[in-house]
Amino acid sequence: MVDMPSLFSLTGKTALITGGGRGLGKAMAFHLALSGAKVWISGRNAATLEATRSEAASCGLELHPLVLDVSNLGTIRKAFSHIARESQALDILINNAGDETLRACDDVDEALWDRLLDTNLKGPFFVAQQAARLMRNGGTIVNMASLTSAAGIAKAVPYSASKSGILGLTRSLAVEWAPRDIRVNALAPGYFHTDMTDIFFQDDAWREKMLSNIPLARFGLPEDLAGPLQFLCSTASAYITGQVLYVDGGTLAAL
């Protein structure tokens, strides 16, 4: 007989969430901490991380802040050296840090292209590379994909390219690291209101148009990611790797 609670348990696990100081990363960090994991949250802004740590503490949760710029290999290595000293091993990585800027193709310059690809694709690879070296008893990696991983969006070519690359990254790492019992999957949120997407949600016409494309007729809430995240991080998904789970209210199904 299967013990369902133990299948989904994260007690005793150590997790790192990049971009964990705000937005969906922050919500996921709180959820994993509530589920019993020791959670490292990383980001570029120490003050933001400290504010999130303090807020978690006021709720009786413990988060461990770690300054890490995913676009900078030097800071990645430094951060993982710190994790290795403090935690020795890592069980879960959530590759959540990301950046997005809408711009017409004719106006995209090399600086914008490099910034988005470095943050959204190069960074997740090198963070995963370092994380895998600490996953001595196997582990799970969840990369954050996007609706743009599967559908073209005007004025979002660099972002779409990076998020499409996340799918290739996820599948290839899943195959290569399967013998080490490291599972690699992706979560792809639909339309969620975060700090990064706030500029779009301020546009009433955009909100109305996007909402009309969502069969469940509402935008995503941070708690909508809790169940899918728990599933992919736990042994409940022990036979699943190289997959992407869209959490989009049915948006892609309606295209």
CATH of the domain at 230: 3.40.50.720
Is residue 253 in some structural domain?
A: no
Residue 118: pLDDT over 90: yes
Is residue 46 in some structural domain?
A: yes
Tell me what the pLDDT averaged over the chain comes to: 96
Give the residue-averaged pLDDT of 96-108: 95
Is residue 30 in some structural domain?
A: yes
What's the length of the chain?
A: 255
DSSP at 218:
S
Residue 72: pLDDT over 90: yes
Residue 106: pLDDT over 70: yes
Is residue 251 in some structural domain?
A: no
Is residue 252 in some structural domain?
A: no
The pLDDT value recorded for residue 3 is 79
Instruction: Give the strand order in the sheet containing 14-18.
Output: 63-67, 38-43, 14-18, 92-95, 139-144, 182-189, 244-247
Is residue 52 in some structural domain?
A: yes
* Helix-then-strand count for the chain, H and E: 10, 7
Residue 196 binned pLDDT confidence (cut-offs 50, 70, 90): confident
Give the residue-averaged pLDDT of 212-220: 97
Cross-strand partners of 43: 67
Q: Percentage of the chain surpassing pLDDT 70?
A: 100
Residue 34: pLDDT over 70: yes
Is residue 135 in some structural domain?
A: yes
Residue 218 binned pLDDT confidence (cut-offs 50, 70, 90): very high
Model confidence pLDDT, tens digit, residues 39-59: 999 999 999 999 999 999 999
Give the residue-averaged pLDDT of 99-109: 95
Distances from the Cα of 149 to the Cα of 4, 161, 201, angstroms: 32, 8, 21
b vs e for 25-39, b when ≥16 Cβ sit within 10 Å of the residue's Cβ? Answer: bbbbbbbbbbbebbb
DSSP at 148:
G
Give the residue-averaged pLDDT of 110-119: 98
191 is catalytic: no
Task: Answer for the pair 96, 25: CB distance below 8 angstroms, yes or no.
Answer: yes
For the chain, the domain total comes to 1
- Domain containing 133: what range? 4-246
Is residue 254 in some structural domain?
A: no
Provide the 3-class DSSP secondary structure of residue 44. coil
